[in-house]
Structure 1
Amino acid sequence: MRVTLGERARLSLLVGRRALRGLSGAVGTHPLLRWRYGSTKTDRLVIAPQDLRTADATRAAEIYAGRFAFAGKVVICDRRSPFEMMPPSEEWATVLLNFSWLRHLRAADSAITRANARSLIDEWINAQGSWHPVGWQPEILSRRIICWLCHSPFILQDADARFYRRFIRSLQRQVRYLRGTVNDTRAGLPRLQALIALTYAALCLNGLSGQLRPSARRLIDELRAQVLPDGGHISRNPGTLIEIVIDLLPLRQLFAARNLQSPQAINNAIDRIMPMLRFFRHPDGNFAQFNGMGPTAVDLLATALAYDDARGAPLSNAPHSGYQRIDADATVILMDTGRPPPAALSTEAHAGCLSFEMSFRQHRVIVNCGLPSMNRENWRQVARATAAHSTVTFNDTSSCRFLESKSLRRLLGGTPIVSGPRKVTAERHDDTDGATIVASQDGYAGEFGIVQTRTIKVSADGRTIDGEDAFTPAYKAFDPRKGDEYAVRFHLHPAIKASRLSEGRGVILLLPDKEVWTFATMGETVEVEESVYLAGSDGPRRAVQIVVYGRAREAPKVRWTFRHTPPVAQGARLDRAEEPELPL
């Protein structure tokens, strides 16, 4: 696919900024070279933040036995230090080196687990505490500082003075290094977490109080830039909100414990995020699979929502984040109606514009494929493609262009979106008959000269969903030299069983609780094809998708409907379907 001059200019600007950040940090890449900067000394911890992440005490015995099971990989150390072992995957190394597993040892809370934690920390200080290219990456370093601070009461209980000094000196060195490299951290959540870690340290470590004001000021600026007015995140990844709020809540408590007023920007960010946590949540407790969202950390989500004093109904319209939600009795619709995020924040964003998800009662029916929790790099580009979403693809092409250069991907630390839909509109109408969303996007206008408009109307009782996908020329008429073959896709959750009707224009959907929905079109042939649901809690799972094929010049509109079958009619034969009435 061709890249326009404007796209090249934006990409060049992004690469230039990243290169300048790299040059600015090149002088002090090694932490020992930064030792002479920021000579503030600290000799003790004055307070420890709370860790809100769920722990599993049974895993403490595995760690004590030298069995480190992280990110789906298991390493048995056999009396060797885990920091000397060859990591089986990058994800495994990340979990090991960020020390997030300390919470499992703390959950067991015994003299043995405390001694085990101190021993492993000592091993890390000896093996990698001075320098290691992976262990000192800002994203891993930020999480390690937070974990050490959160679990310091557990770690330091019964510790001798020698270990205490080593622990404090190592923390001081890590904080100083992070402070010098925070500008090199990737934009978005990683940079925000780095600033949160520095603010934690300024509140918790004696002697760093002078760093509190600049750290808090930078954190405030970053929160204002990243948390949108409607509470969404600028990356448009719903899961990012859980990570942010689960770190901000203890930070707010730290300010109160130190008899300091929490910055209003922190309180405002938490207050805006809380309603959005409910916005993205399906009735079964899981988040919708948009823009890099993987399996939902249900335990973290429940913990975060427990701090929500309002506990009101979810929003219906998130215009700044680019999402819509319809609640109609037992039916929930979530729809992506936004543009791709800025290039620097788009390394995990998906080409899923105008895709939607639907759930009925406690069951998700229509989904996007999402991302797995492990082996993400193997699936990332497949999951980001438009074909992995419940929307329309043209000529097997995504509505966004992704950076293809391997060298630039390494420099930028990911694969950003080079271009995508520029004009995305969304209109919503709510009345006594139900709710209607009319949205359009021009992601295919430049390549194929086609604009997609999707209309979704949900009845007031939530039992009928009428939809239409219309394709209009971006200019005066369709260009006959350009392809116009489309595929309207509806990915089904793995728990849904699908049976194609005999005449080929509909599909019977059987939910786990034996409820039945029927999908039908006005005349187009419907196919049931293989799919994969990547965001399962136990890894990728086989699934199916409903697909309607056509050509925009021959059939510029596709009308479809999902209709709940009343219980009385569910006993009838399902080999034929009544012709649906589509009023659109």
Structure 2
Amino acid sequence: MSTALANKPLIAILTIQEAWRRVRRRLRTGPIHSLRFVGAAPDRLASVPPSLRRGDPFIAEAIYGGRFHLAGKVVQAFDQSIFHSPMPSADFTTELHSFAWLCHHAAAADTLAAANARALVSDWLRLASGKLSGPAYEPETAARRVIAWLSHADLLLGSAEYDFYRRFLKSLMAQTRFLRSIAQEAPAGMPRLRVRMALALATLCLPLAAGRSRTAAQHLADELDRQILPDGGHISRNPAALAEILAELLPIRETLTSQGQPVPKGIYSAIDRMLPALRFFRHTDGTLAQFNGAGASDVQLLASLTRFDETLGEPLSHARHSGYHRLSAGGTVVIADTGTPPPLAVSQNAHAGTLAFELSSENARIVVNCGCPQPGQPELKRLARSTAAHSTLVLDERSSSRFAGQPGLDRFLGSPLVPGPTEVSVEEVETAETGRAVGFFASHNGYERELGFLHARRLELSPDGYRLDGEDRLIAPRRTRGRADAQAADLRFHLHPGVTVETLGRFARLSLRGQIWRFSADQNFSVDDSIQFAETSGPRRTLQLVITFVPGPVTTVRWAFERLS
């Protein structure tokens, strides 16, 4: 690990910062300081926030039978509590202690589901609540638990006995004090924002002084100002982060409004920016584009969130701050990554997919990225983050951005993305008649230092949406260091599992949901196996179109997707 740190000063700095953050958090939650979290508890909740998440009653039934399917693993708890059962993975433990699965009990909405939910919370209070350390008290896990308990308080407390009612509120109060104590020491990005959202919600739902809720709401507004970009994207560049944030932020706004309390400008402004941005990242089938950690979409949640979007018209074509392009015409949508990697401190889930694109048409996706797998599959996650798992150009089977690949660092930092492209230049392509953007030309320098090439891509969508023309080019700048090392370039187009492929000479016929598309290129291509990671049921086999050429003799490849019917 020391060699890796010596070769990567940014990683060394981040490691020191993370070590110091953990020390500060330990000092705040040590044996002496933990006494601060014990105190009087309220005798009731002031309000119960609405929940935008919809669960599955069949999953609640499985949990009642002792079968927990979380983070890609299954544990059958027979005669003992699930909190005493061996945990199959760290991700399973995190999901279990977050209590996000309570939404399934709420979906069942019957007496048996409510009783089972109370029994599981009671088990946690008895077996796991006493020690302010370990997975259950990681900042983001504790924040998700507080939000879940508050959002489903009606289910848990509706017919609860007094003893459970008292212990539940006492624990909620203690966890709120804990989160308030460590809020500043939470990891950067989503974990810190989730803690701020949990605190804002808790101070509204617990009968505390009005000053507490105003302070918590303002702290949340300040954190949103730091993390939500001017175009509405999240600093991590993960489209799915918007849905996660809005799912908790909108109920906070609704609760503030219902209580007659002022909503800080930062909260209103963030919501007004994020809702159009969420629409920007949605394909024609309603799912989110699979970039930088986005996996399988919760279509029901997305539908609930879009009902709050009162903006009209088409989304922007270029989200400059987030680093994405969107082309839309005639029911066809193209979304492309035209930005540099996110800041190192929030890049644990970022992908090396610069200049990758996705294509969809009339409720069907055609060209995709492989997406992020479900939690609990670290090997697949690393593979999914590579450039080869994206619909873009791969040089010498290397990723355009690198990963902090030491196992020790992975456990400590979460494998941040070491920026490859430090510069992505972008130019709009507009029609001469209307001045409307129909495409873009972009290039990145992720391969320049090691392999001596810039990768440039040009995409143009026809006005009727029936043809997407593309051009990929390798440019050797004057400083050609390392150029001789580049042996092969692979231009990959991953196809959605719903697409069937038939090759016809220099063409490929793509069939999907009643549509026929034709792929053509000025170079030979092959049809190879691929895999779609972003599926709720697990990875699925699919296909990809691959153009392989040798850098140097061929530096430009032109290709097109054309709809025939």
In 2 relative to 1, CA 261–247 (structure 1 residues): closer, same or farther, beyond 3 Å?
same
The corresponding residue for 1:92 is: 92
Count of residues paired in the alignment:
559
Worse overlay, 218-227 or 401-410: 401-410
Shift of 1:182: 2.2
SS for the counterpart of 2:485 is coil
| Distance in 2 separating the partners of 1:411 and 1:68 | 27
The corresponding residue for 1:326 is: 327
Shift of 1:283: 0.7
The 5 Å alignment of 1:563-578 reads 563-565=562-564, 567=565
Q: Is the 8 A contact 1:290 1:370 kept in 2?
A: yes
In 2 relative to 1, CA 561–59 (structure 1 residues): closer, same or farther, beyond 3 Å?
closer
Worse overlay, 436-445 or 30-39: 30-39
| Distance in 1 separating the partners of 2:467 and 2:317 | 19
| Distance in 1 separating the partners of 2:73 and 2:410 | 26
Worse overlay, 244-253 or 462-471: 462-471
The corresponding residue for 1:495 is: 498
What amino acid is aligned across from residue 114 of structure 1 in structure 2?
A: A
Q: Is the 8 A contact 1:60 1:105 kept in 2?
A: yes
| Distance in 1 separating the partners of 2:252 and 2:37 | 26
Shift of 1:484: 4.5
| Distance in 2 separating the partners of 1:21 and 1:271 | 32
Q: Is the 8 A contact 1:374 1:539 kept in 2?
A: no
1:545 aligns with 2:515: no
The corresponding residue for 1:525 is: 524
Worse overlay, 17-26 or 53-62: 53-62
TM-score (ref. length: structure 1): 0.91
Q: Is the 8 A contact 1:40 1:208 kept in 2?
A: no
The corresponding residue for 1:141 is: 142
Unaligned runs of 5+ in 1: 568-584
SS for the counterpart of 1:369 is coil
What amino acid is aligned across from residue 169 of structure 1 in structure 2?
A: K
Q: Is the 8 A contact 2:60 2:113 kept in 1?
A: yes
1:120 aligns with 2:120: yes
The corresponding residue for 1:10 is: 10
The corresponding residue for 1:299 is: 300
The corresponding residue for 1:179 is: 180
The 5 Å alignment of 1:256-275 reads 256-275=257-276
| Distance in 2 separating the partners of 1:92 and 1:38 | 29
What amino acid is aligned across from residue 74 of structure 2 in structure 1?
A: V
| Distance in 2 separating the partners of 1:33 and 1:43 | 25
Deviations 1:167-225 (A, max 9, x none): 11111111111222223322111110111001111111123544324322321121011
Q: Is the 8 A contact 2:454 2:477 kept in 1?
A: yes
1:483 aligns with 2:482: no
In 2 relative to 1, CA 108–470 (structure 1 residues): closer, same or farther, beyond 3 Å?
closer
In 2 relative to 1, CA 72–23 (structure 1 residues): closer, same or farther, beyond 3 Å?
closer
1:561 aligns with 2:560: yes
The 5 Å alignment of 1:155-234 reads 155-207=156-208, 209-234=210-235
Q: Is the 8 A contact 2:37 2:175 kept in 1?
A: no
The corresponding residue for 2:464 is: 461
The corresponding residue for 1:364 is: 365
Shift of 1:39: 5.7
Worse overlay, 46-55 or 63-72: 63-72
TM-score (ref. length: structure 2): 0.94
| Distance in 2 separating the partners of 1:139 and 1:395 | 38
| Distance in 2 separating the partners of 1:158 and 1:436 | 59
The corresponding residue for 2:445 is: 442
The structure 2 residue matched to 1:471, chosen from 467, 471, 474, is 474
Q: Is the 8 A contact 1:448 1:484 kept in 2?
A: no
In 2 relative to 1, CA 159–476 (structure 1 residues): closer, same or farther, beyond 3 Å?
closer
Deviations 1:407-443 (A, max 9, x none): 233222x000122101101111232587121001000
Deviations 1:132-178 (A, max 9, x none): 61111111111110111112222222323322221111111111112
The corresponding residue for 1:276 is: 277
1:27 aligns with 2:27: yes
The corresponding residue for 1:355 is: 356
Worse overlay, 17-26 or 387-396: 17-26
Worse overlay, 316-325 or 69-78: 69-78
What amino acid is aligned across from residue 199 of structure 1 in structure 2?
A: A
| Distance in 2 separating the partners of 1:135 and 1:349 | 25
Q: Is the 8 A contact 1:31 1:130 kept in 2?
A: no
Shift of 1:5: 11
Unaligned runs of 5+ in 2: none
The corresponding residue for 1:573 is: none
What amino acid is aligned across from residue 458 of structure 2 in structure 1?
A: T
Q: Is the 8 A contact 1:48 1:150 kept in 2?
A: yes
In 2 relative to 1, CA 59–511 (structure 1 residues): closer, same or farther, beyond 3 Å?
closer
Aligned-residue CA RMSD (Å): 2.2
What amino acid is aligned across from residue 557 of structure 1 in structure 2?
A: T
| Distance in 2 separating the partners of 1:480 and 1:118 | 64
The 5 Å alignment of 1:21-100 reads 21-29=21-29, 33-36=33-36, 42-100=42-100
The corresponding residue for 1:576 is: none
What amino acid is aligned across from residue 544 of structure 1 in structure 2?
A: L
Q: Is the 8 A contact 2:22 2:185 kept in 1?
A: yes
In 2 relative to 1, CA 38–427 (structure 1 residues): closer, same or farther, beyond 3 Å?
farther
The corresponding residue for 1:246 is: 247
Shift of 1:92: 2.9
1:109 aligns with 2:109: yes
Worse overlay, 543-552 or 320-329: 543-552
Worse overlay, 289-298 or 42-51: 42-51
Q: Percent identity?
A: 40
| Distance in 2 separating the partners of 1:4 and 1:102 | 42
| Distance in 2 separating the partners of 1:38 and 1:216 | 23
Shift of 1:476: 4.8
Q: Which runs of 4+ in 1 moved over 4 A?
A: 3-7, 30-33, 37-41, 476-480
Deviations 1:95-132 (A, max 9, x none): 32111222322333344333332222211111001026
| Distance in 2 separating the partners of 1:445 and 1:61 | 55
